[in-house]
């Protein structure tokens, strides 16, 4: 047997003969069923290896998750709890409102709570008086170790108000709202308590979830990013998978009376304003029910709830003193158009060299399509010599400035030179092979860039065929970093619609990147020791290190004719330099991505 494995590489004839002999041997000695399983196994393995290089997974998210579940079925749960582990957090209050919900779904929820491996919890069921008798009857048929931990609170009010009454009646330091019909994983409370005890003074703790369809088909996972303030303003991505420190909700009743709050989104937005420590627990601990529309989340599965969420966002903006208009993209997905009191001057910096056809299209699209009026264009000439280029510069030089940047190509040095010449309060770095598609692109980017705490803003870039080229940058994908959602058709919804909503990223591409001149100078601009690649990643990581957030603004859309960009092969020196500087950050994982998402492709498919 050992000799069989150390044989020399066979020729084609020998290989075919060996395969035939192996098939005959397995079918004779192990049966056709075993042969079928082995063939399927080999084919699956070959397919998986072959498809790693594909830009887009060929399987649906549900199909991927089915495979993921099977592979992680034997994973060990969280470590055992000791008395010391429970010394800080002992009691978790679980609050379920049955107001307006069918009782038929409640039994499964209670049973999932009764199966918890962590024992110190209380369950408060808030219901209408007409439901109370039936609920107490459920207690007799469900095996719960301590019936004293079950409480029924009878109310005559709306669902959201009933949850608040449940908070008032709770005894735990932390509370977890559950939707009637939803389920907790058996280790949910155990995992949460470990995180709360290890993480210090945590105010909010949320986990991943999967969404169970009503037809019994495969569930759909939502492996969530770490805390993303801009994403929460675009969609309720926290939903019912969130544990609150009860003290955060002390004043929520006053909020309800003052603003007539009507949904959990109100509560999450309110709590996030007061929280100082928000933690993501990267495990699927919550199983939610959802409708059949793939563009809605569990928390936004109806027009009525989506309307309530829109009102919640509007109230949050008013409460924070922010002037803006909330627009609904689809139920449960929003964008906020922030008011600009004035239009600061933006300097658009475009590096180029002898590429008149590309540059002229780029400049013409800015001039024709841009509704933002306060801008200047600086053409950063890296030593153009062609006659056509000279004529074009003579033409546009009457309106815009041509800045000479001679010497070997160094993207960082060229843009730093342009920044020194710029008059704008903001700097917009733009490739010459881009073309503006949406008239309000610069307005939208400025709406974000002018907000406190926002350090840099990137746009959605498309290939000319309509597929996405850039939807933010993800650390660790394909090596140092990759572009989110590259090659996905722009009209497709993708992974929970994240390609189409405003959210935080670790970085955005400098093919279209907006930053304030003050911040750019503070962090000393682009690193000239990164002349070709990853200079934008390095810039954004330094912006984040300075305490500022990076925002992806998908309503600002441009074509990027990337194949025309000066690129060639990977610049090994730049790659090594970035690993030396940021290796620990990259290896730690992108906080706005997830460990269970692939690093082989840029489509946000699962790591299988």
- Binned at pLDDT 50, 70 and 90, residue 229 comes out as very high
Are 63 and 494 within 8 A, CB to CB? no
Nearest alpha-carbon partner for 523 in 433, 412, 375: 412
Angular region, 407: left φ>0, alpha ψ -120 to 50, beta rest:
left
- The whole-number pLDDT of residue 59 equals 87
> Do the domain assignments include residue 306?
no
Same domain, 490 and 573: yes
> Do the domain assignments include residue 531?
yes
Asked if residue 65 has pLDDT above 80, the reply is yes
Same domain, 157 and 240: yes
> Do the domain assignments include residue 603?
no
Q: 32-51 vs 12-29: helix axis angle to the nearest 10?
A: 140
Q: CA 369, 375, 379: angle at the middle one, nearest 5? A: 90
Same domain, 410 and 481: yes
- Name the domain count of the chain: 3
| Distance in angstroms between the alpha carbons of the first and the last residue of the chain | 31
Are 543 and 513 within 8 A, CB to CB? no
Helix, strand, coil percentages, rounded to 5, for the chain: 40, 20, 40
Same domain, 365 and 447: yes
Distance of CA 560 to the CA centre of its chain: 23
Mean pLDDT confidence for 314-322: 95
> Do the domain assignments include residue 159?
yes
Q: Which residue has the higher pLDDT, 334 or 218?
A: 334
> Do the domain assignments include residue 80?
no
Same domain, 478 and 355: yes
> Do the domain assignments include residue 606?
no
Same domain, 227 and 133: yes
- The whole-number pLDDT of residue 256 equals 63
Same domain, 372 and 288: no
**Domain around 364:** 346-588
> Do the domain assignments include residue 248?
yes
Residue that is last in its domain, among 276, 299, 322: 299
Same domain, 174 and 264: yes
Nearest alpha-carbon partner for 374 in 339, 340, 415: 340
Same domain, 292 and 351: no
- Binned at pLDDT 50, 70 and 90, residue 35 comes out as confident
* CATH number of the domain residue 291 falls in: 3.90.550.10
Give 422-465 as a DSSP string: ---SEEEEE-TTEEE-STTHHHHHHHHHTSTTEEEEEEEEE-TT
Same domain, 378 and 476: yes
Same domain, 352 and 467: yes
> Do the domain assignments include residue 64?
no
Question: Could you report the per-residue pLDDT of 93-117, keeping only the tens digit for each?
Answer: 999 998 878 888 899 999 999 999 9
Question: Could you report the per-residue pLDDT of 406-448, keeping only the tens digit for each?
Answer: 999 999 999 999 999 999 999 999 999 999 999 999 999 999 9
Same domain, 350 and 447: yes
What is the value of pTM for the model shown?
0.87
Are 244 and 271 within 8 A, CB to CB? yes
């Amino acid at each position: 047997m050992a000799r069989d494995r150390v044989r020399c590489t066979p020729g084609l004839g020998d290989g075919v003969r060996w395969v035939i002999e192996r098939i005959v041997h397995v079918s004779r000695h192990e049966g056709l069923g075993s042969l079928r399983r082995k063939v399927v196994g080999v084919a699956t393995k070959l397919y998986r290896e072959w498809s790693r290089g594909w830009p887009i997974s060929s399987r649906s998210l549900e199909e991927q998750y089915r495979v993921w579940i099977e592979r992680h079925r034997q994973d060990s749960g969280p470590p055992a709890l000791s008395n010391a582990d429970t010394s800080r957090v002992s009691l978790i209050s679980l609050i379920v409102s049955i107001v307006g919900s069918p009782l038929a779904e409640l039994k499964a929820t209670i049973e999932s709570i009764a199966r918890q491996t962590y024992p110190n919890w209380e369950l408060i069921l808030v219901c209408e008086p007409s439901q109370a008798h039936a609920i107490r009857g459920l207690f007799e048929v469900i095996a719960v170790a301590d019936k004293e931990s079950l409480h029924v609170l009878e109310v005559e009010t709306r669902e959201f108000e009933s949850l608040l009454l449940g908070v008032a009646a709770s005894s735990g330091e932390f509370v977890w709202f559950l939707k009637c019909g939803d389920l907790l994983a058996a280790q949910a409370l155990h995992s949460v308590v470990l995180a709360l005890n290890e993480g210090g003074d945590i105010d909010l703790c949320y986990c991943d979830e999967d969404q169970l369809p009503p037809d019994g088909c495969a569930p759909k996972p939502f492996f969530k990013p770490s805390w993303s303030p801009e994403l929460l303003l675009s969609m309720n991505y926290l939903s019912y998978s969130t544990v609150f420190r009860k003290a955060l909700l002390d004043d929520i009743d006053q909020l309800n009376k003052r603003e007539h709050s009507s949904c959990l989104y109100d509560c999450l937005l309110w709590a996030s304003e007061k929280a100082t420590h928000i933690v993501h627990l990267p495990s699927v601990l919550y199983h939610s029910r959802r409708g059949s529309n793939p563009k809605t989340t569990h928390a936004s599965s109806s027009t009525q709830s989506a309307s309530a969420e829109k009102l919640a966002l509007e109230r949050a903006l008013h409460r924070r003193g922010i002037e803006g208009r909330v627009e609904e993209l689809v139920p449960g997905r929003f964008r906020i158009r922030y008011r600009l009191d004035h239009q600061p001057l933006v300097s658009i910096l475009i590096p180029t060299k002898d590429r008149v056809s590309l540059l002229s299209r780029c400049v013409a699209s800015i001039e024709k399509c841009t509704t933002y009026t306060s801008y200047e264009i600086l053409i950063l000439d890296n030593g153009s010599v062609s006659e056509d280029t000279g004529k074009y510069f003579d033409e546009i030089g009457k309106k815009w400035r041509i800045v000479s940047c001679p010497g070997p190509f160094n993207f960082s040095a060229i843009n730093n030179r342009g920044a020194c010449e710029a008059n704008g309060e903001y700097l917009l770095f733009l490739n010459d092979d881009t073309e503006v598609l949406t008239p309000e692109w610069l307005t939208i980017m400025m709406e974000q860039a002018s907000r406190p705490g926002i350090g840099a803003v990137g746009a959605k870039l498309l290939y000319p065929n309509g597929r996405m080229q850039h939807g933010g940058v993800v650390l660790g994908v394909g090596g140092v970093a990759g572009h989110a959602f590259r090659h996905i058709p722009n009209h497709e919804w993708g992974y929970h619609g994240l390609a189409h909503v405003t959210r935080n990223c670790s970085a955005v591409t400098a093919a279209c990147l907006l930053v304030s001149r003050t911040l750019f100078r503070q962090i000393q601009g682009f690193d000239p020791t990164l002349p070709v690649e990853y200079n934008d990643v390095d810039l954004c990581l330094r912006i984040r290190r300075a305490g500022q957030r990076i925002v992806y603004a998908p309503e600002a859309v441009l074509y990027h004719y990337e194949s025309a960009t000066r690129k060639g092969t990977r610049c090994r020196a730049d790659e090594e330099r970035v690993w030396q500087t940021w290796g620990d950050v990259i290896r730690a994982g992108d906080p706005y991505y997830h460990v269970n998402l692939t690093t082989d492709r840029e489509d946000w498919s699962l790591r299988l």
